[in-house]
Structure formats: C-alpha cells, structure tokens
Amino acid sequence: MFIKQLKDINKSLLNETIEAVVLLSQINVKTTKTDKKYADMVIQDVSKVMEAKYWDYEENEEKIKGFGNNPIVQIQGIVGEYNGQLQLTIRSLEKVDSDKVTIKDFIPASTIDFNSMEKALKQFYDKIEKPHLRELLDKMIFSEEFYQDFCTHHAAKKVHHNFYHGLLQHTLEVLKFVYTVAITKKLPQHRIDRLIVMTMLHDWGKMLEYKELPELGLTEEGMMIGHIVLSAHYTMNKIKEIHNFPEEDKLVIINGILGHHGSLEFGSPVLPKTVEAQILHAGDKMSGDIESILAFMKEDTEEETFTKKLWNMGTEYYKK
C-alpha cells in the first residue's frame, strides 16, 4: 500500500506493508547485543516526523552512506507498535531521483502566509518610539546578516514551532500576547518599548542553537551554551555598538531575555525581575504550550476521545 503522507499511518495499518517517499533526515547507527549494526532512522514529510527501525543496515551500509546527506528515499516497511506508539520497521529503501523532488517538498512549514508575518513584524517594530531600541533591532533582526535566518528558522527541535518559519511565527504570537497585556494594564510607553524589544530577541539565539532544517539536532554552540545565553550575549555585544545606550534599558532587556523561561529549573539563569520580563515569560509559555498541544492533537490520528499523555504537559487532551 502506498502512503501519500506519513500522517496517514495509523493503527488500522498494523502489521501491513506500506510504501512511501520520505526525507531521511537522521541516521543513528547502533549495535545489538550480538554486535550487529542496525539504524534508528528519522524520516519525515510535510505532514509528520517519525522514527523508524532499519535492522538490515549492516548489509547495506555502503549503499546508505552513498545516499549523501538528507536523501529523499522511497521506503517499504511494516507498521508496528512499541510501548503504545506506532513504529515503522523499514525493509528496503532506495534513493529517489533528485530531479523529481526537492528537500523543501518534505520540510514542514508554517501554515501562515509569510508576507503577512513579515508585515506584522514590521508593525510591532513601528510601535517602538525610542531610536536606540530601534537601532538594536536593526542590528540584530533587520540586518542583511540575520534577517533571512530569523524569518526562516525553526523554534524547537521537537516540542513547538519545529517547522520552517517557526521562529518567526512563535515570536509574532508572543508579541501579540504581551502587547495585549501591556495595553490592558496600561503600561507606559517606555515599558512597552522594552517589552517589544525583549520579546523580539528572547529566542534570537535559536538561529545558532539549532541546525538548519532538515537537520533536527543541536549545533555545538547550542549544546555548550544554549539559546538563552546566546541571545543575551549577542544582544549585549550589539548594545555596546550603540552610542549612549541607557544602562537601565540594557539591564531590563537582558534580564527579560535571560529570565524568559521563568524559573531556574527550566533553564533561566536568573528570574524575571521586571513587569515586562514577567509578561514575556507568560506570553512565551502560552505560545509554546498551546502550539505543542495543537500539534500533538493533529498528529494523534487514533479514533479516541482523548489523546495519549503529552509528555511535556503531563496530561491527555480532549480532541473533539
């Protein structure tokens, strides 16, 4: 049976042999207790990312290595189940002619129109009154060096906004949340300015933390430092380039970036120390949590009333 998209694989296909064209985005070679090599593979298309087992890796090692990085392959495999989760065991795979398909055809992307997101980002920028704060964003986001990456990068490896344009979509969601709170609570303009800036920059370091899609892993900088410190570090360096940048604005913005995870146990080296930083933390959490839930519900194709337990939220969710 040929499967058009990976999302179509469900429990009704248990023990069935399926075929599909997918992007092979990751290969982790492992060894059994009898010293035979096998591979844990990550396959994906625009609908889903999933794991697969390939027990015959050792016999086909040279062939697989000859595929190069991130090949598009046609696979044949058997649908199984392990610990309640669907699992695909690959029986065969062949590289697909690159003239027929491109990698972008297999990378999940934001469903929101890109031009509208660009327009929204500029609208929030225009709400800032202080020239030195606009200059900071000019250097870190709206520059030739960073703008394309900021607009196209993903915002996570797995949990939320882990798709093309994901960082931009997440940033805009948080901007909408925090601006609504700021206006509702009638914050003065100088606090709104700082809130918009720290929100635009809070996940800036994810461009350096995560490898570019379709790679799903962390860079060396991401492993060693992480996006929170990277965002703060680069912001500090750009602030130094701006003449007479107020010390108070610097401290407030840097604290907002460093504290946006809200607690030490969730990776923030400091706690939010301002109203703006606390609002940012709440908006960031709302965007990440809701996207995580909605994506999980979309991927759960089983005909059940509730999803399985979402690991990062600790509960099941009603699907109807």
**Over residues 126-143, mean pLDDT:** 98
Model pLDDT for residues 235-283, shown as the tens digit of each residue = 999 999 999 999 999 999 999 999 999 999 999 999 999 999 999 999 9
pLDDT score at 144: 95
Question: In terms of C-beta density within 10 A (0-12 exposed, 13-18 middle, 19 or more buried), how is residue 144 classed?
Answer: exposed
**Over residues 153-175, mean pLDDT:** 89
- Whether 229 has a pLDDT exceeding 70, the answer reads yes
pLDDT score at 159: 61
> Which two structure tokens, joined as six digits, stand for 37?
């090599």
Q: How far is the C-alpha of 221 from the C-alpha of 216, rounded, in Å?
A: 15
CA distances (Å), 153 to each of 173, 204, 215, in order?
Answer: 15, 10, 11
Model pLDDT for residues 2-20, shown as the tens digit of each residue = 988 888 888 889 999 999 9
Which is it for the CA torsion 142, 147, 150, 151, positive or negative? positive
Three-class SS of 66-77 = CCCCCCEEEEEE
92-130 b/e with 16+ CB inside 10 Å = b?
A: ebeeeeeeeeeeeebbbbbeeeeeebeebbeebbeebeb
**Over residues 204-228, mean pLDDT:** 92
Q: What is the mean pLDDT of the chain?
A: 92
- Whether 200 has a pLDDT exceeding 90, the answer reads yes
Model pLDDT for residues 45-84, shown as the tens digit of each residue = 888 888 899 999 999 999 999 988 888 999 999 999 887 7
> Which two structure tokens, joined as six digits, stand for 136?
């900071």
- Whether 98 has a pLDDT exceeding 80, the answer reads no
Q: How far is the C-alpha of 237 from the C-alpha of 226, rounded, in Å?
A: 17
- Whether 290 has a pLDDT exceeding 80, the answer reads yes
- Whether 205 has a pLDDT exceeding 70, the answer reads yes
Q: What is the pTM of this model?
A: 0.84
pLDDT score at 12: 87
| 29 φ/ψ angles, rounded to the nearest 5 degrees | -80, 130
In this prediction, residue 145 has a pLDDT band, given cuts at 50, 70 and 90, of: very high
Provide the 8-state DSSP code for 308: P
Q: What are the structural domains of the chain?
A: 6-105 (2.40.50.140), 108-298 (1.10.3210)
3-state SS, residue 186: coil
pLDDT score at 217: 83
Q: How far is the C-alpha of 103 from the C-alpha of 25, rounded, in Å?
A: 10
Point out which residues pair with 89 in neighbouring strands.
53, 78
The angle that helices 189-201 and 247-258 make with each other, rounded to 10 degrees, is 50
Contact by Cβ (8 Å): 254, 234: no
* Share above pLDDT 90 across residues of the chain, in percent, rounded to a whole number: 72
Q: How far is the C-alpha of 137 from the C-alpha of 139, rounded, in Å?
A: 5
- Whether 102 has a pLDDT exceeding 70, the answer reads yes
Contact by Cβ (8 Å): 76, 93: yes
**H or E element, residue 283:** helix 275-299
pLDDT score at 83: 77
pLDDT score at 300: 74
3-state SS, residue 248: helix
Cα 279 versus chain centre, distance? 22
Closest CA relative to residue 87, chosen from 47, 45, 40, 52:
52
- What is the Cα gyration radius of the chain? 22
3-state SS, residue 38: strand
Question: In terms of C-beta density within 10 A (0-12 exposed, 13-18 middle, 19 or more buried), how is residue 85 classed?
Answer: exposed
* Share above pLDDT 70 across residues of the chain, in percent, rounded to a whole number: 98
